[in-house]
Amino acid sequence: MAKLPETEHPVKAFGWAARDQSAHFSPFNFSRRATGERDVQVKVLYCGVCHSDLHMAKNEWGLTQFPVVPGHEITGIVTEVGSKVEKVKVGDKVGIGCMVGSCRECDQCANDLENYCSKFILTYSARYNDGTVTYGGYSDKIVADEHFVIRWPESLPLDAGAPLLCAGITTYSPLKYYGLDKPGLNIGVVGLGGLGHVAVKFAKAFGSNVTVISTSINKKKEAIERLGADSFLVSRDQEAMEAAVGTLDGIIDTVSVAHPLLPLVNLLKPHSHLIMVGAAEKPLEVPMLPLIFGRKSISGSGIGGLKETQEMVDFAAKHNIFADVEIISMDYINTAMKRLEKSDVKYRFVIDVANSLKAD
């Protein structure tokens, strides 16, 4: 007989969970495993609210194991370490991102690409090595293997920096991998939400000329004056889109709902990439002829390995990059999810877990 979430492990924990795909959150008692010899226990201080959390709470990808405690943009303080932990010590500031496990043996893991391991383990709503379900950062504490813990730079804020553990690495990694980190390149960013606004900041730090592509002219002033984008395209403005055909060296597409790809592919120079980092719940149509005749490609990219995530966080600290956030209390999460669904946030909700999560 399966044990209940609050009794399957010895360490009592408390958070907020969605019990079904209505995506309504409420208080939830569960448990965490005891700190193993290579484990780190962390008191959660802040946790970002990713659009993936909404997808998972509604089970739109068919992956969710209810009850689900989301949260994979976690920052906090180390409260306990195992006897063989070398990476961090009690009292250190740390982060935990989108994954808490991988096989550590395959070619992907050997090349610091744990995120592409076929056995990687998500921070929440996945099965851990012991067979129990993982629970994320909408909670008071978390236990993770030290390999999956990020050392936090002293100069990087724990609240506004938390979204970098998903939104940051999700946009930093493809910019690096596809060679879009060279000064002077013309880079497009589709969508100016949680991922998009961070993509603009990283691309500018790399020395790129950045064009934001959005369905709404209302975001132009924000994109250029606040975030530092060089130009702005309204994707519904056919004349402006046609004038920009063949001008971009690469595009990071952060939009997580169905949208046409052909106008974006047309913006690319030959031999360039449209890189998808937003996970739409429905399949998108792929325009073949422009890909063939321009030797262009549509690619995907998912977060990054632990080495690259640490590199990204350190780069962000050096260049003063962090998310634009709205700090919320834990009991505001249901309202936040409704607002997130309408893109009514600039640009990332972050839960002040330590000061607002109160056990019943």
Binned at pLDDT 50, 70 and 90, residue 282 comes out as confident
Number of H helices, E strands in the chain: 12, 17
pLDDT digits (tens, 9 = 90+) for 81-96: 999 999 999 999 999 9
Binned at pLDDT 50, 70 and 90, residue 360 comes out as low
Nearest CA to 167 out of 143, 151, 182, 189 is that of 189
How far apart are the C-alpha atoms of 41 and 43, rounded to whole Å?
A: 7
- Predicted confidence at residue 281, as pLDDT, reads 77
How far apart are the C-alpha atoms of 326 and 19, rounded to whole Å?
A: 26
At residue 358, does pLDDT exceed 70? Answer: yes
SS3 241: helix
Average pLDDT over residues 180-184: 97
Nearest CA to 343 out of 46, 47, 2, 54 is that of 54
- Can you state the angle between helices 194-205 and 306-318, rounded to 10 degrees? 70
Say if strands 268-276 and 297-300 run parallel, antiparallel, or are unpaired: parallel
Query: Per 3-state DSSP, what percentage of the chain is helix, strand, and coil (rounded to 5)?
Result: 30, 25, 45
How far apart are the C-alpha atoms of 31 and 140, rounded to whole Å?
A: 11
Nearest CA to 122 out of 141, 96, 140, 104 is that of 96
Query: Which range (168-177, 180-189, 341-350) has the least confidence?
Result: 341-350
Name 27's Cβ contacts closer than 8 Å, sequence gap at least 6. Answer: 14, 15, 16, 359, 360
Token code pair at residue 231? 């130009």
Average pLDDT over residues 251-262: 94
pLDDT digits (tens, 9 = 90+) for 55-83: 999 999 899 999 999 999 999 999 999 99
Binned at pLDDT 50, 70 and 90, residue 237 comes out as very high
Name 238's Cβ contacts closer than 8 Å, sequence gap at least 6. Answer: none
Q: E strands, 60-139, where?
A: 74-81, 93-96, 99-101, 121-122
Could you tell me what percent of the chain has a pLDDT over 70?
A: 99
At residue 279, does pLDDT exceed 80? Answer: yes
- Predicted confidence at residue 310, as pLDDT, reads 98
How far apart are the C-alpha atoms of 87 and 325, rounded to whole Å?
A: 29
At residue 359, does pLDDT exceed 90? Answer: no
pLDDT digits (tens, 9 = 90+) for 286-341: 999 999 999 999 999 999 999 999 999 999 999 999 999 999 999 999 999 999 99
How far apart are the C-alpha atoms of 81 and 1, rounded to whole Å?
A: 31
At residue 1, does pLDDT exceed 70? Answer: no
pLDDT digits (tens, 9 = 90+) for 213-226: 999 999 999 999 99
